[in-house]
Amino acid sequence: MRFSSLDRLPAPGDAEQTPFEDMPFPGIRRSVPFLHRQKKRPKSELVRRMGVAVRPFTCRAAAALVSFVRQKVGFRDGYALGIANKLASAAKSPDSRVRIRSRRCPLCDSDEHEVVLRKGAWRLVRCRSCSLAYLPEIPTDDAIDTDYEWAASFDRERADRWRKHPILRVGTMVASRLRPSRETRAMRRILRYAPPGRMLDVGCGSGRLDAMAKEYGYDPTGVEVSPVMAAKARRRLGDDRVLVGRLLDFDLPRGSFDLAITISYLEHEPEPARIVRRVGDLLRSGGIFINKVPNYGTWLRKLLGERWSGYRWPEHVQYFSPRTLSRLLVDSGFEIVRVSANPLSDNFWIVGRRR
């Protein structure tokens, strides 16, 4: 008996039973001891024994199932362990296969720091000079583009976080129903601080915000390093409006934009000071620069410690507080218009104006 919905699980007394060998992962039976004693069980009983509600076996559901069995039963080898290892999140520490490079503080170029946190072999340090939190060892640019590509790493991190803390998934789903989308919230800030004009979106992702801005009369140009996300953005906006690569790779005219925006981008950028200075060069005098980044100063980080959802290593290579990002903007030729930082929020917004 096959089933594909949680609403129609077979009852324990159903006459027709399905051998475990016919289920999508037959090799699990050889690795899980309690399944040796009986080859045929109703699927609903298997569900209760394993503590997992069986959904259609997509890769993501399969990963969650195998991970759960590995934790609860404790098997050490076999086919299922191989599946789990292949579907597990990418390694979170540098090893011989990961190309890394060392760097000084990306804000003040100091080499004096203290270790704040360790995760595997990755280190998060705090600069003794400017207090910026950053990773002194990071993947090389080509490794970021391949091994730690944003679109894939974000899905891995979220699935892993939801598996460890299921209540976070419930909270995310509830919040997504009760509040406007990220693009809508960003668009409100754009409309508040900048009239329609030429807009530069650094780290434009799939182009949703730029498509929305276009409807409000803005003339957007997106820059995206991820080929996967850039392809989606080009389908929405057209090839001529999306540049694939880093902002520093392109020779754009100085003073050619009225507005620039980065959303969840600067924490990924190995050279944030160069990016912000380049944005300043591309903005006209009086142009607006809007930023959103994880808030290292949030009370949630202090409360949750290493379990804070903002920690994503090594995809996030530095963490700004309102004070450190304000310093970066001021040093790059901007004046601060507004800082919106809720101490109970994981992110904050900062708006600057080109002097």
Cis amide prior to 136 (ω within 30 degrees): no
Which region among 12-16, 208-212, 234-238, 344-348 has the lowest average model confidence (pLDDT)?
12-16
Encode pLDDT of 112-160 as tens digits.
999 999 988 889 999 999 999 999 999 886 665 555 555 555 556 666 6
Return the pLDDT at 288.
Answer: 98
β-strand 347-354 against 283-294: which pairing, if any?
antiparallel
Q: Who wins on pLDDT, 173 or 257?
A: 257
Identify the structural domains of the chain with CATH numbers, from first to last.
Answer: 6-87 (no CATH), 180-354 (3.40.50.150)
Quote the tokens at residue 237: 């906006």
Phi, psi dihedrals of residue 298, rounded to the nearest 5°: -65, 150
Q: For the residues of 156-210, what is the DSSP string, one character each?
A: HHHHHHHHH-HHHHHHHHHHHHHS--HHHHHHHHHHHH--SSEEEEET-TTSHHH
Q: Does 23 have pLDDT greater than 80? A: no
Residue 142: predicted pLDDT: 64
What are φ and ψ of residue 65, in 5° steps? -65, -50
Under the banding of pLDDT at 50, 70 and 90, the label for residue 177 is low
How does pLDDT run across 241-290, given as a tens digit for each residue? 999 999 999 999 999 999 999 999 999 999 999 999 999 999 999 999 99
Instruction: Please classify residue 201 by burial: count the beta carbons closer than 10 Å to its beta carbon, then call 0-12 exposed, 13-18 middle and 19+ buried.
Output: buried
Reference 317, options 100, 89, 95; nearest CA is 100
